[in-house]
Each structure stands twice: as C-alpha cells, then as structure tokens.
Amino acid sequence: AFPYFLKTSCPCCTEQVSAVMCDDGESECPEGTTCCETPDGSWGCCPMPKAVCCSDGNHCCPTNYTCDVNSTTCVKGEVVIPWYTKLPAVTSDEDYGNSVECDARNKCPEGSTCCQLAGGQWGCCPLEKL
C-alpha cells in the first residue's frame, strides 16, 4: 500500500513561488519539499514535506519511514514502498524556470503534477505524471 499525498495549492504565475531555504543558506527548494544534501555536497529537493533524507545521498522517504538502502525502499512497520529520487535544488538567485504549467496562470514545481481540485482550482501532487 502506498501512502496518500496531500495536494498543495498551485501558486499563480504572478506570485512568487515560496521556497524552503537549505542549510547552506544559498540553495532552495519549492514549498512543500525538503532539502537534503547530496553526495557531492550540493543540495537536492525531496518531493514531500518533512522527508527523511536517505544515507545514500540521492533518495528520500516520507515522514516516519526508514530508508532501507539495501533494498532501495522506504519502510514503516510492515509497509514497504519505493524510495524517492531527489530533484536538484536551485540557488536563491535562480527561478523555477522548469516548473510545470497547469494553465496560463498556475504552475507547480518541476517533478510534480498539476491536479484539478474539487473547487476547480489547481493543486500540485508531489509526483511526476507518467
């Protein structure tokens, strides 16, 4: 069984996308993601809030899951799910140029999917559309 992800509201393209500042004080990730350091010392963005950064430096798991590096999975009790690959962080002077456009006014961070909410607004799911 896979855990559900809550959709986050889509920022309008005329508004600045909120960001999470990483520990280096220069790199940032989109709101609703988690900064995790990569093996080369740069920063990556895990596509969910309060994620667990895995020791391999390239992957992460949802909150309250444990990274199983040997099986490349996330484990919580008897629940085992695939782990997530981090997306690259941007420096604070870059913008989110590769964001996913939902329509002419709304966008989601790269690596996520636009999903229409019940009220007709757009939301962002922290998984890519396949």
**Does 130 reside within a domain?**
no
**23-74, pLDDT tens digit by residue?**
998 888 888 889 999 999 999 888 889 999 999 999 999 999 999 999 999 9
Structural domain count, the chain: 1
**Does 35 reside within a domain?**
yes
**Does 3 reside within a domain?**
no
What the block records as the tokens of 124 is: 């962002």
DSSP string, 77-120: TTEEEE-EEPEEPEETTS--TTPEESSSSBEE-TT-EEEE-TTS
> pTM here?
0.62
**Does 121 reside within a domain?**
yes
Give residue for tokens 């981090």: 86
- The span from the CA of 103 to the CA of 31, in Å, is 20
**Does 68 reside within a domain?**
yes
**Does 1 reside within a domain?**
no
Structural domain containing residue 80:
8-125
**Does 2 reside within a domain?**
no
Q: Which residue has the higher pLDDT, 44 or 123?
A: 44
